[in-house]
């Protein structure tokens, strides 16, 4: 089995390496380019549609390897293939024609509904950490919860796609974390899909890391976000209630950035739908770090979240899980206030710590 997974990874990587330059020329030919503006970091017109290279490499490698395997869940895999095709199409059209947010959201909802209802991809049981064998069957509620999760994660990744190699690299780290957890749990389906996706992303990242030659565009950001959401559901379809924190931790960078963006707009009393230049990567750049260093720092944060996810997956004591989560939340808040991702002036926790420290030294 190991050699098959290795073959899948290498096949996806090579296809992405070969295909990305062709997709770059195609993007320029059809006019799918990204012009610089006041919110963007790049200063020259860049081809988009890089997500097509990732997607085609994934599909090609999947159809090369999947006929050889007979113990993976085909229904679950097809949920990613079919739903992924829809979000890639929507993203590609947006890369070229700049679709409205409502149209893009509709496409994401259609993909999520097909994955959830058409292929029965949903979280259907919550095991409570209290008493013996206590559980809640979510039944119809699981459909709404899973659709919300898929659409939410899909959009979360799209928000951090603001620097060369950022979204692709963070996705690769999250998928690598899922791969590690899938190996530990023996989840063949997630191992297969994660291996192929990882190869596709790394092959594309060769052309996307700073200085980028092509952007993944919405076609890539939406597909990778959708893939991360689907894989997390596949990996934690029936999870202990507290263990839902594991997929949250794996996707810590895009989800926390989205959360802080919502809080920031509420604090500043601006519409949630209005874009700004205060996301995680913007804040780190404003501290004086270079483009490349900013991306590497966010990679390190993603690795940290991945490590926390693995640690939580191995924690059996409820009190230890709660302690780890509590420490993680405090670290997140302090970090957010330090870089000013919520507000440049309102920093209550840091203010409290400074005041407490000053009093202790007196």
DSSP for residue 55: H
- Single pTM value for the model: 0.88
Q: Are 207 and 21 within 8 A, CB to CB? A: yes
pLDDT of residue 61: 95
According to the annotation, is 218 in a ligand binding site? yes
Q: Residue 168's domain spans which residues?
A: 2-361
Residue 172: closest CA among 23, 306, 310, 53: 306
- List per-residue pLDDT tens for the chain, 362 residues long: 788 889 999 999 999 999 999 999 999 999 998 876 555 555 678 899 999 999 999 999 999 988 877 777 888 889 999 999 999 999 999 999 989 989 999 999 999 999 999 898 887 655 444 444 445 555 677 888 889 989 988 988 887 877 889 999 999 999 999 899 889 888 888 999 999 999 999 999 999 998 889 999 999 999 999 999 998 888 765 444 444 566 677 778 888 888 888 888 887 777 766 666 777 887 888 888 888 999 999 999 999 988 888 888 787 777 787 888 888 888 888 888 888 887 777 778 777 777 767 776 66
Residue 155 tokens, joined: 């959009």
Whole-number pLDDT of residue 125: 53
Measure the CA–CA gap between 313 and 190, rounded to whole angstroms: 16
Write out the two tokens for 262: 């919502």
Compute the C-alpha angle 46/52/58, nearest 5°.
140
**pLDDT value for 322:** 81
Count of domains observed in the chain = 1
Q: What is the reported pLDDT for 281?
A: 83
In DSSP terms, 47 is beta-bridged to: 33
Q: Is residue 37 annotated as involved in ligand binding? A: no
Per DSSP, the chain holds a count of helices (H) and strands (E) of 14, 5
């Amino acid at each position: 089995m190991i050699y098959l997974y290795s073959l899948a990874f290498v096949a996806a990587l090579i296809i992405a390496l070969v295909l990305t330059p062709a997709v770059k020329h195609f993007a320029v030919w059809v006019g799918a380019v990204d012009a610089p503006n006041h919110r963007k970091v790049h200063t020259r017109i860049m081809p988009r549609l890089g997500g097509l290279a990732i997607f085609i490499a994934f599909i090609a490698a999947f159809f090369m390897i999947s006929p050889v395997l007979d113990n993976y869940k085909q229904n679950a895999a097809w949920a990613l293939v079919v739903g992924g095709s829809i979000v890639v199409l929507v993203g590609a059209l947006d890369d070229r024609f700049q679709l409205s947010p409502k149209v893009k959201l509709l496409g994401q909802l259609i993909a999520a509904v097909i994955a959830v209802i058409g292929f029965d991809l949903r979280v259907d049981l919550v095991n409570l950490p209290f008493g013996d064998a206590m559980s809640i069957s979510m039944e119809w509620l699981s459909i709404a919860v899973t659709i919300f999760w898929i659409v939410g994660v899909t959009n979360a990744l799209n928000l951090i796609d603001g620097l060369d190699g950022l979204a692709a690299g963070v996705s690769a780290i999250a998928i690598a974390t899922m791969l590690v957890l899938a190996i530990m749990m023996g989840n063949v389906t997630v191992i297969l899909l994660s291996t192929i996706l990882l190869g596709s992303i790394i092959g594309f990242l060769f052309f996307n890391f700073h200085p980028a030659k092509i952007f993944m565009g919405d076609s890539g950001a939406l597909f990778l976000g959708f893939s991360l959401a689907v894989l997390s559901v596949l990996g934690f379809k029936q999870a202990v209630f507290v263990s839902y924190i594991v997929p949250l931790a794996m996707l810590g960078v895009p989800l926390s950035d989205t959360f802080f963006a919502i809080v920031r707009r509420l604090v500043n009393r601006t519409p949630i739908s209005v874009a700004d230049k205060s996301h995680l990567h913007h804040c780190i750049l404003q501290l004086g770090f270079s483009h490349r260093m900013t991306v590497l720092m966010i990679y390190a944060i993603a690795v940290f979240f991945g490590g926390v996810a693995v640690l939580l997956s191995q924690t059996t004591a409820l009190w230890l899980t709660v302690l780890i989560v509590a420490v993680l939340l405090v670290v997140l808040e302090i970090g957010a206030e330090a870089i000013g991702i919520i507000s440049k002036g309102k920093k209550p926790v840091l203010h409290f710590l400074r005041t407490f420290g000053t009093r202790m030294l007196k």
